[in-house]
Every structure is written in C-alpha cells, then in structure tokens.
C-alpha cells in the first residue's frame, strides 16, 4: 500500500506539472500544428502514468481521467477548440479541473428541458439511492458462486453503471463546492433509452459522448464530405467514433488487467456503431409514418445493450479476474468500517451458512 501511495503522488504531481505547462506556456503558442507538437511529450507521459499504479481501481480511474479525457481535451486545446479553449478566460484551478475530471460545465444560458410526451417517465434515482444500491450490490457480490452466471452478469452490469454514476457525481460535487461552477449531469437515465441513438447520443456518459463528437465524429464527417454526399457522410463518422471508443476501452482495461487485449470490447462498440447506422436508416424510411411506443422500445433497446455486453463487453474482464480484483480492493477500503457497520459481518456470516447449505446439498 505504501508503494501505491508513492505512485499516486508521482502521478498527481506529474499531471499537475503537465497542466501548468499547458496553461502557462502552451497557451501562448499559436494554435495549430506547433501547439500540437508542444503537447506530444505530455500525451506520451499521460499514456504511461497508469503503469505507475498497481491497483485496478486507481489504474482504471487514472487511465480514464488522464490518458483518455485529459489527452483528448488537450488535443482539442491545441487547435483552440473544446472546453479548454482560450476564448473564455479560466483560472489555473478551473483549467485543471476541466482538463482531467469527467465534467461538462453548463453554458451561461441554460433552459430547462420539458418532458416530451413520447418519452418514458423519469425515475427518482438520486445520488443517495445510487450509493445505497451500489453498497447492496457489493454485498450481493459475495454470493457469486451461488448465483446463476447470467444473473451475476446482470448484477455486474448494474454495479458498473452505479459505480460510474457515483464517481461522476462526486467529481461534479467537488467542482461545484470548490469552484462554484454548475456542471451538467453525467448521464440522463440510460435505462430509459428508447433507441440506440437515444442511449449513446443523449443519455449514456454524455461527457464522453460530447468529447468524441468533437475529436472524432466532426473531423471524420468533414473528411468524408470531400468524397461523398453530405447525406451519407455521418455514417462513416459514426462507425469511426465507436471504433475509437472501443480502442480506448481496450486500452483502459489493459491498464486494469495487464493482459493482451482480446478485441472483444472493440467488437462490442463497432457492432453498436453499425447497428446505430442501420437504426438511423430505418428511422429515415419510416419517418413520420410509424413509431414504436416507449413501452416497447425501452425494453428492446436496453435488452440489446445488456445482451451484447454479456456477449462481448464483460467476458474479458471476468476471464482476467478484474471484477474480483476490484471487489477485493473495495473490501480493503471498507475494512475499517466493519465494526461500525453491523451489516457487513452479518452478510459474511449469512454467506458462509448458505455456502455450507449449498455444498451439503451437492454432496447428497
């Protein structure tokens, strides 16, 4: 643990120094290729930083916050685009927060959106409910060997969603309390998505969606317009965006697992990109003539996302034991709370009794 803390300190100091360099020096270089060249050493450093950490949680968070988010935002910054652009003056602290935290600052004029009649009703899942649900799923994780594999994958899917929601909410609260900035919601109830376009474009992980839109989708679409009509140019841009997302997920989970990629995650995202293109085409054919009610489209959409994640997304994580590593690390973090929370020893005792009952039944 002492070595991990030292590694974390090195990572934090390296990120701080890199972003100070970007704020004070790189911002004075004219936008374009020269500013991009001045950031190449920072990009190389950010790719290497997760390797200084050994725990799955810290490696994964560092890879996501720094290797992915900060690198992509600085790449936009090199052309004076994105949230770090010099168009709006920022303090150093705000620059650092925007660069490496999973947040999106609200614009000055924010109009409340009205609930559209064809959309499913919203569910009151606030931060406290999500934290409580995440804790419950951690408790149930102890019964992995007693649960059907498909049910376990469903619990793992919910746990990943809740972990990201809690993590993003904590980052948003930190920025709101320390800097007084209002940030947008990280997700918009993705379990109520009515289509793949709705899930990936308007509900799930909106901060990453916006980042990929500016770093991949728009440049590819502009390039595609030089060789095809404007009507068809979004199609290769969508597939390219999902391909980049898949490759970044492979990189993230390499830092967590430290095993060679199986490319199943890339296949998962490419599959969804192709299916989204097909979905958009079908919508254009039936536009204004026929539309599924949300009571049918929500189960179909969520079911497709969950089923394909069972097939391609989660298996490489489980094979590498990443889920068990994360849970062991969570247990270490919760160990000081065992005596303060009577429920934890009770869960362990119940688990042991159920295991004995299960083994005795199998023996018979």
Q: Are residues 73 and 195 in the same domain?
A: no
Partners of residue 105 on adjacent β-strands: 183
The answer on pLDDT for 339 being more than 60 is no
Per-residue tokens: 245 = 């997302």
Residue 118 banded pLDDT, cuts 50, 70, 90: low
Query: What's the pLDDT score for residue 143?
Result: 73
The answer on pLDDT for 287 being more than 50 is yes
Q: Are residues 159 and 259 in the same domain?
A: no
327 and 140 in contact (C-beta within 8 Å)?
no
Classify the C-alpha dihedral 358-360-361-363 as positive or negative.
Answer: positive
Q: What are phi and psi of 111, to 5 degrees?
A: -100, 130
Domain count, the chain: 3
More confident residue, 363 or 17: 17
Least confident of 75-89, 227-241, 311-325, 332-346: 332-346
More confident residue, 217 or 151: 217
Partners of residue 183 on adjacent β-strands: 105
Residue 119 banded pLDDT, cuts 50, 70, 90: low
Q: Are residues 146 and 177 in the same domain?
A: yes
Q: What are phi and psi of 183, to 5 degrees?
A: -115, 155
Domain-terminating residue out of 134, 151, 185: 185
Q: Are residues 335 and 191 in the same domain?
A: yes
Classify the C-alpha dihedral 187-192-198-200 as positive or negative.
Answer: positive
The rounded radius of gyration (Å) of the Cα atoms in the chain is: 22
Domain-terminating residue out of 100, 134, 163: 100
Q: Are residues 174 and 286 in the same domain?
A: no
Q: What are phi and psi of 60, to 5 degrees?
A: -65, -45
Judge whether 293 lies within some domain. yes
Q: Are residues 162 and 292 in the same domain?
A: no
Q: Mean of the pLDDT values across residues 23-47?
A: 96
Q: Are residues 178 and 310 in the same domain?
A: no
Query: What's the pLDDT score for residue 61?
Result: 96
Q: Are residues 317 and 269 in the same domain?
A: yes
Residue 332 banded pLDDT, cuts 50, 70, 90: confident
How far apart are the C-alpha atoms of 223 and 229, rounded to whole Å? 11
More confident residue, 41 or 116: 41
Domain-terminating residue out of 165, 185, 205: 185
Judge whether 7 lies within some domain. yes
- Give the three-class secondary structure for 121: coil
∠20-23-29 over CA atoms, to 5°?
Answer: 125
What domain range is 174 assigned to?
124-185
Q: Are residues 193 and 329 in the same domain?
A: yes
How far apart are the C-alpha atoms of 94 and 92, rounded to whole Å? 6
116 and 291 in contact (C-beta within 8 Å)?
no
Q: Mean of the pLDDT values across residues 290-317?
A: 92
Q: Are residues 82 and 197 in the same domain?
A: no
Q: Are residues 212 and 325 in the same domain?
A: yes
Judge whether 352 lies within some domain. no
Per-residue tokens: 321 = 């034991």
Query: What's the pLDDT score for residue 108?
Result: 62
């Amino acid at each position: 643990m002492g070595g991990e803390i030292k590694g974390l300190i090195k990572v934090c100091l390296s990120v701080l120094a890199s972003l100070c360099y970007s704020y004070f020096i790189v911002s004075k270089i004219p936008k374009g290729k020269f500013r991009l060249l001045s950031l190449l050493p920072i990009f190389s450093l950010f790719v290497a930083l997760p390797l200084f950490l050994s725990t799955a949680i810290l490696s994964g968070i560092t890879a996501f916050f720094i290797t992915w988010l900060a690198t992509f935002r600085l790449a936009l910054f090199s052309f004076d685009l994105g949230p770090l652009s010099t168009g709006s003056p920022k303090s150093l602290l705000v620059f650092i927060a925007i660069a490496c935290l999973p947040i999106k600052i609200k614009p000055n004029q924010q109009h409340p959106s009205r609930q559209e009649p064809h959309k499913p009703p919203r569910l009151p899942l606030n931060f406290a409910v999500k934290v409580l649900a995440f804790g419950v799923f951690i408790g149930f994780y102890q019964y992995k060997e007693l649960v059907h594999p498909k049910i376990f994958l469903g619990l793992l899917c919910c746990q990943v969603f809740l972990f990201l929601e809690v993590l993003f909410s904590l980052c948003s609260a930190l920025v709101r309390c320390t800097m007084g900035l209002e940030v947008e919601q990280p997700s918009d109830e993705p379990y109520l998505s009515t289509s793949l376009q709705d899930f990936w474009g308007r509900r799930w992980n909106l901060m990453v969606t916006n980042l990929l839109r500016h770093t991949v989708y728009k440049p590819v679409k502009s390039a595609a317009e030089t060789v095809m009509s404007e009507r068809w140019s979004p199609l290769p841009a969508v597939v390219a965006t999902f391909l980049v997302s898949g490759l970044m997920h492979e990189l993230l989970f390499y830092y967590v697992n430290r095993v060679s990629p199986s490319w199943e995650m890339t296949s998962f995202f490419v599959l969804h990109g192709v299916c989204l293109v097909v979905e958009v085409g079908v919508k254009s054919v039936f536009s204004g003539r026929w539309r599924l009610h949300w009571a049918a489209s929500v189960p179909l959409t969520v079911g497709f996302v969950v089923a394909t994640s069972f097939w391609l997304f989660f298996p490489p994580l489980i094979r590498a034991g990443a889920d068990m590593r994360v849970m062991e690390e969570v247990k270490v973090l919760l160990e000081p709370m065992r005596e303060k929370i009577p429920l934890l020893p009770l869960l362990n005792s119940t688990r042991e009794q159920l295991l004995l009952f299960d083994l005795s039944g199998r023996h018979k």
